[in-house]
Chain A
Amino acid sequence: MKQQLISRRTVLTACAGMTTLVASSPVAFSQTSQSEILRDGKITIGIHNQAPWGFKTMDGNVAGVHPDMIKAVLGPLGIKKVNFVIVEWPALIPSLMSKRIDAVASGMAITPVRCDQVIFSDPDLAIGDGAIVRAGNPHKIRSFEDIVKNERLRIGAGRGSTNAEHAMQAGIPKDRVLLFEDMQSSIAALAAGRIDADIESTATVISTVNDPNLKGKIERAIPFTGLIKDGREVRNFAGIAFRAEDSQLRDLYNLGLAKAKLDGTVKAIFARYGFTDAEIAPADATAKNLCPDNYR
């Protein structure tokens, strides 16, 4: 009996059909760019759902120091409608570059590596690294050095965070650093004894240890010495990240930020989230200084 009773042409046509089935799904081409954001007064912001940077509250609203900054700085420019998307921390920059969001407003520190991909506003906050430990600090962790010395200690940090980078630069071997996607995973790992300390920016540390749900389980390691470079403790300078081609929007944001710094708006926002004057980025810290080689 002849086996090939359904012809090759039928098979190939059907294959083409399958391809069309895949390709015909609703395709939309994103046009969002600075001119449209300014024209429509609408911007989509990515946050990583972490207090105090950018987070969803119990009642479903979005709060946080950088979402508030965006509203306070871009509002007067006519950008009144701010949409928020919660994105995993490691996916924030990919989302920005693939135009899923228009800016990252979630306490992202300005680093030369990130400057290769995206552009940053001038920083508003300068925050050191801190550690969360189990209640009573059983391993007496007071610095990165303490962790380096004790080979039994393992630490957790956010995947792709500057805090994790600093811990490794301080000499903690990679195999003792566990990287987590979000804060609740890090805290769960800490409580379960998988890690002995969680390294985060001090702002995250403070807001997390003050969470009423975690009372008595964890505490902030005080004092804590982070990475020392040139005799000074390294800090993370946080700013808003924009797409590389949206430099005009970034420049507008910087102008607005300078104005908001002068009239006290910025200070009021910082006070709302418990930041002190010591944590305000100094005037000489600009995105240009932090990324001297690849500032765009």
Chain B
Amino acid sequence: MSFLEIMLGIFEGFGITAEVTFFGLLYAIPFALLAGVLQHFARGLGRWTVTAVIEFWRSSSVIVLLYAFYYSLPAFGVYLSAITVGSMVLGLNGGAYASQSVRAALQALDRGQCEAGLALGLSRFSVLRLVELPQAIRAMIPTFINEAIQLIKGTALVSLITLTDMTFRAKEIAQLSYNPVEIYTGLLLSYLILCYPVTILGRYLSTSYSNTGVRINEL
């Protein structure tokens, strides 16, 4: 089996890897924004609840969560498909991490920004929406891109719940050709090929948006 054939074989699993990443991001981004904002503003019982939800997803091992959701939930009558389990667990885990950068970005903002907004007669929610979040999100872009790359690489774990992603395909090919050196080198390259463009996108996003940020602040 030539190296090209191995690479093509591995890329047969690209669809699943992309699908899990896409749905994972659909879970991760809203969860991160919502949880981060709520943790920043909530006090007392509310804050305790938000923190509990975040910590559940952040402080448990992804692989254990995958197994638990895939193999244990059916015992309680809840039967989620492998794609749902994979994207939900990876997405919410990544989202829980990202929620901390949301909170950090909000906390790092100067208090004066909020006070000025309130002084203009904006409601607290409008201040958040129009003043604080736009600046916070700009500051978060590099960390968010980090999380997205982490998510792509994390999808390798879904091969353990029978999804035919790139890692699963690599293992299948390995089982047929017994050529670990070429196959795992190929797999390594495949993830690099996938993740590097995301890094470039991230760099582009952060340069272009941080420039706007400077301009707005200068105005």
A86 touches B172 (CB 8 A): yes
Given the known A-B contacts A14-B34, A15-B53, A26-B84, are A98 and B72 also in contact in the complex, defined by CB atoms under 8 Å? yes
Tell me whether chain A's interface is mostly helix, strand or loop, or mixed: mixed
B162 touches A87 (CB 8 A): yes
**Contact residues, B46-70 vs A (CB, 8 A):** 46-47, 49-50, 53, 67, 70
- Name A28's contact: one of B49, B79, B174 (CB within 8 Å): B79
- Binary interface profile of A, 97-128, with partner B (CB < 8 Å = 1, else 0)? 11110000000000000000000000000000
With an 8 A cutoff between CB atoms, is A6 at the interface?
yes
A11 touches B38 (CB 8 A): yes
B80 touches A21 (CB 8 A): no
Q: Which residues of A contact B42 (CB under 8 A)?
A: 6, 8, 11
Stretch at the interface among A50-58, A141-149, A167-175, A265-273: A50-58
- Binary interface profile of A, 5-27, with partner B (CB < 8 Å = 1, else 0)? 11010011011011101100111
A11 touches B41 (CB 8 A): yes
Q: State the Cβ distance, A79 to closest chain B Cβ, in Å.
A: 22
Q: State the Cβ distance, A34 to closest chain B Cβ, in Å.
A: 17
Stretch at the interface among A179-187, A223-231, A251-259, A283-291: A179-187
With an 8 A cutoff between CB atoms, is A88 at the interface?
yes
Stretch at the interface among B101-109, B140-148, B177-185, B191-199: B177-185
With an 8 A cutoff between CB atoms, is B131 at the interface?
no
Q: Which residues of B contact A28 (CB under 8 A)?
A: 79-81
B44 touches A30 (CB 8 A): no
Given the known A-B contacts A8-B46, A15-B53, A21-B30, are A214 and B171 also in contact in the complex, defined by CB atoms under 8 Å? no
With an 8 A cutoff between CB atoms, is A61 at the interface?
no
Given the known A-B contacts A1-B115, A22-B92, A211-B178, are A56 and B172 also in contact in the complex, defined by CB atoms under 8 Å? yes
Q: Which residues of A contact B81 (CB under 8 A)?
A: 26, 28
With an 8 A cutoff between CB atoms, is B125 at the interface?
yes
**Contact residues, B108-166 vs A (CB, 8 A):** 115, 118, 124-125, 160, 162
B35 touches A86 (CB 8 A): no
B41 touches A5 (CB 8 A): yes
- C-alpha spacing A237/B61, complex, angstroms: 37
Q: State the Cβ distance, A152 to closest chain B Cβ, in Å.
A: 24
- Name A95's contact: one of B43, B71, B174 (CB within 8 Å): B71
With an 8 A cutoff between CB atoms, is A75 at the interface?
no
With an 8 A cutoff between CB atoms, is B88 at the interface?
yes
Given the known A-B contacts A8-B43, A25-B84, are A184 and B38 also in contact in the complex, defined by CB atoms under 8 Å? no
Q: State the Cβ distance, A261 to closest chain B Cβ, in Å.
A: 30
Tell me whether chain B's interface is mostly helix, strand or loop, or mixed: helix
B84 touches A88 (CB 8 A): no
Residues of chain A at interface, number, CB under 8 A: 47
Q: Which residues of B contact A276 (CB under 8 A)?
A: none
- Name B47's contact: one of A11, A27, A98 (CB within 8 Å): A11
A99 touches B79 (CB 8 A): yes
Closest to B179 in A: A213
- Name A27's contact: one of B30, B38, B67, B80 (CB within 8 Å): B80
Q: State the Cβ distance, B102 to closest chain A Cβ, in Å.
A: 14
Closest to B127 in A: A5
B41 touches A187 (CB 8 A): no
With an 8 A cutoff between CB atoms, is B216 at the interface?
no
Given the known A-B contacts A28-B79, A50-B175, A95-B162, are A8 and B44 also in contact in the complex, defined by CB atoms under 8 Å? yes
A11 touches B80 (CB 8 A): no
Closest to A14 in B: B38
Q: State the Cβ distance, A28 to closest chain B Cβ, in Å.
A: 5
Q: Which residues of B contact A187 (CB under 8 A)?
A: 178
A8 touches B34 (CB 8 A): no
B34 touches A18 (CB 8 A): yes
B178 touches A15 (CB 8 A): no
Q: State the Cβ distance, B34 to closest chain A Cβ, in Å.
A: 6
A15 touches B46 (CB 8 A): yes
B70 touches A98 (CB 8 A): yes
Closest to B49 in A: A15
B174 touches A5 (CB 8 A): no
Closest to B75 in A: A98
Closest 8 CB pairs of A and B: A11-B46, A98-B74, A184-B174, A188-B180, A5-B124, A11-B42, A6-B41, A94-B71
Chain B residues at the A interface, C-beta cutoff of 8 Å: 27, 30-31, 34-35, 38, 41-47, 49-50, 53, 67, 70-75, 77-81, 84, 88, 92, 115, 118, 124-125, 160, 162, 168, 171-172, 174-180
Contact sample, A vs B, 24 pairs, CB 8 Å cutoff = A4-B41, A6-B42, A6-B124, A8-B44, A8-B45, A12-B49, A18-B35, A26-B80, A26-B84, A27-B78, A28-B79, A30-B79, A56-B175, A57-B176, A85-B162, A88-B160, A94-B71, A98-B70, A98-B71, A99-B74, A99-B79, A100-B162, A183-B175, A184-B178
